[in-house]
Structure 1
């Protein structure tokens, strides 16, 4: 039952992450940096402490009592993840929702799942999965099989993106917009690697989550793990994410004088602000439900891979729904659909792996 609920929570979190950029696409007349930092205020600064306050009454004391190294490394990985998130928006801008999310999240999935396992292979910590786990146990082999299937699915999505670019050049489609495969793929690779730092940040902030879990268990004996234990760690992680994003967006706002967007009455200011707030809040929900899924599946590779796979799946589904692939050739459309199918299969395989433990 834990496995079923864990997969369900990861699906909801993946849906939130795969959908958050859709409101941004409805913002009219604003620069990217103007809408990105406004949405970020909600996802990084406003919503996280509210969520922690609602679920962990003593979260401020937990943070205050945490070791300085725990706070420091959690914040540092949050900064690095924030750079990945910053370039994530640019990647989608140049590649579109489907292709951009597939490449960036695919790389993030691989690095985020395997790098902690490499670390724990050399520094053994009770309860943590080392790299040998994936090659010496049935569950580990099943997870690796699901990861390989998901990577193949991501490759097919990438292939579809290349075919799409060729199709656009050949047919000179008018709505090509800002699609640029060369710039987009470079940004996507950087983003994908740095975005994996979020999983490292969760590991670094785990001592705070464990305190929250212990305090909850003292009043809720025999009720399993605390669903919302990670909400306290998210506050520090997202402070780091806000720092890197705020610095860059502030630079762009003054460089491009785009801070004037907020007072440009030729644009629907109130509507744009509301859309940014919705986008930012939706983005935070991915972390909220990721923590719930992790409490049921554990903070191992399976949780991270499932989370990433669901995001890739939903992002590609949105790409099809938003007609980003309209007008492309049949082989291109078959490539993106095949990629989606393989990702769905990989999710089933990884979910099954949890039943083998």
Structure 2
């Protein structure tokens, strides 16, 4: 099986996980957001990545000792930038739901996070530039339609004072999603900056797919600090430690654990697929990963009733998803140029 096909299959699986994990945020009761996010950050960003890497890379310390310090610290700093986006994205879902949050956040994150590494490549061919930019623009068109669907959905919800409250929440949610999208772009840029570790890992016999997992240790360490610190700050400020003693908190923590596993499964498998695909992996692969995650999240949004009774908005939603699939086709072909 060719490396391109393997990479595409891995990114397909990663996109399904990415579009699904956030369901846990909507089923976190009785835990407050911060009571959920603090352990989620530690387990999903530190514990699970380290366990996975330790299993598939026995000589982890030897590999880290061989790589230049900038391959560690630059991704770490980009990860810290992403940490801002992870926090605001989690909050945006609470305000405007999965579909609209994903639309804004993923649209910005996918385009900015892919095009910056792309234009840093050497010897770009004109045909490749056209294909990648076209695929990105098509993807953004789909995102715009999906975002429009979300706005129309909000206009159909409620009347009077309740509607004003919801519209206020929508504005806050959109701002949070915009900030999150710009910050989330740092996530993939940081990953691309850490990819030299794959070659070092290969010297010890590790595969490209497994070597890519080491890159996430650097990026996620930076992101963890802000995520965990903010959640703990809110735990103290809001007195939310009591949530862990509330009836049903055990179930909430199990949901948190499943969410953390699903979240890093998405990230780790995406990284493996991107590494296998080669230079275009963190570029075309990133956009494809985001596009599929958005499609999957919209499916879940439909199934959980976010779009119930919204005939016109759903038409925009379907049109946007069809266009996202088209972007997958364009970017898949770009990998053959």
Q: 2:243 — aligned with what?
A: 261
Once the two structures are superposed, residues 301-341 of structure 1 have per-residue CA deviations (whole angstroms, 9 ceiling, x without a partner) of 2111111111111111111111101122x221100111111
Q: What secondary structure is seen at the aligned counterpart in 2 of 1:43? A: helix
1:9-158 matches, within 5 Å, as 9-118=10-119, 120=120, 128-129=121-122, 132-133=124-125, 136-137=126-127, 139-158=128-147
TM-aligned CA deviation for residue 171 of structure 1: 8.8
Which residue in 1 is equivalent to 2:205? 216
Change in Cα spacing, 1:312 to 1:75, as seen in structure 2 (3 Å) is: same
Tell me the equivalent position of 2:232. Answer: 250
User: Aligned to 2:175, which of 179, 182, 186?
Assistant: 186
CA distance in 1: counterparts of 2:243 and 2:66, whole angstroms: 42
1:272 counterpart residue number = 252
Tell me which residue corresponds to 1:286: 266
In the aligned structure 2, how far is the partner of 1:318 from the partner of 1:299?
32
Instruction: Give the TM-score normalised by the residue count of structure 1.
Output: 0.88
Aligned to 1:123: none
Q: CA deviation at 1:112?
A: 0.6
Matched residue, 1:338: 319
Q: CA deviation at 1:66?
A: 2.9
Question: What CA distance in whole angstroms lies between the structure 1 residues aligned with 2:265 and 2:229?
Answer: 24
1:68/1:226 CA distance change after superposition, 3 Å: closer
Measure the CA separation in 2 of the matches of 1:93 and 1:298: 37
Aligned residues: 333
The Cα shift of 1:179 comes to 8.2
Counterpart-to-counterpart distance in 2, 1:179 and 1:281: 33
Q: Retained in 2: the 8 A contact 1:19–1:314?
A: yes
- CA–CA separation in structure 1 for the residues paired with 2:60 and 2:146: 41
Contact 1:93–1:178 (Cα < 8 Å) also in 2: no
Question: Is the partner of 1:96 in helix, strand or coil?
Answer: helix
| Structure 1 residue runs without a partner (length 5+) | 121-127, 218-224
Shift of 1:85: 0.9
Q: Structure 2: which 5+ runs fail to align?
A: none
In 1, Cα distance between equivalents of 2:22 and 2:15: 13
Q: Deviations over 1:53-112 (max 9, x none)?
A: 111111122223432222211211111111111111011111111110111001001101
Match of 2:187 in 1: 198
Q: Give me the whole-angstrom Cα distance separating, in 1, the residues matched to 2:161 and 2:258.
A: 34
Is the CA contact (8 Å cut-off) linking 1:252 and 1:258 kept in structure 2? yes
**CA gap 1:177/1:283 in 2 versus in 1, 3 angstroms:** farther
Residue 14 to residue 171, structure 1, CA distance change in 2 (3 Å)? farther
How far the C-alpha of 1:260 sits from its partner, in A, is: 1.4
Counterpart-to-counterpart distance in 1, 2:158 and 2:152: 10
Q: CA deviation at 1:191?
A: 0.4
Assess if the C-alpha contact under 8 Å between 1:102 and 1:316 holds in 2: no
| Residues 1:163 and 2:119 are matched in the alignment | no
Q: What's the C-alpha RMSD, in Å, of the aligned pairs? A: 2.1
Contact kept, 8 Å, 1:21 with 1:279, in 2: the verdict is yes
Output the TM-score relative to the length of structure 2: 0.93
Q: Is the 8 A contact 1:93 1:179 kept in 2?
A: no
Distance 2:202 2:83 in 1: 26
Which stretches of structure 1, 4 residues or longer, exceed 3 Å deviation after superposition?
A: 169-174, 176-179
Offset at 1:292? 1.9
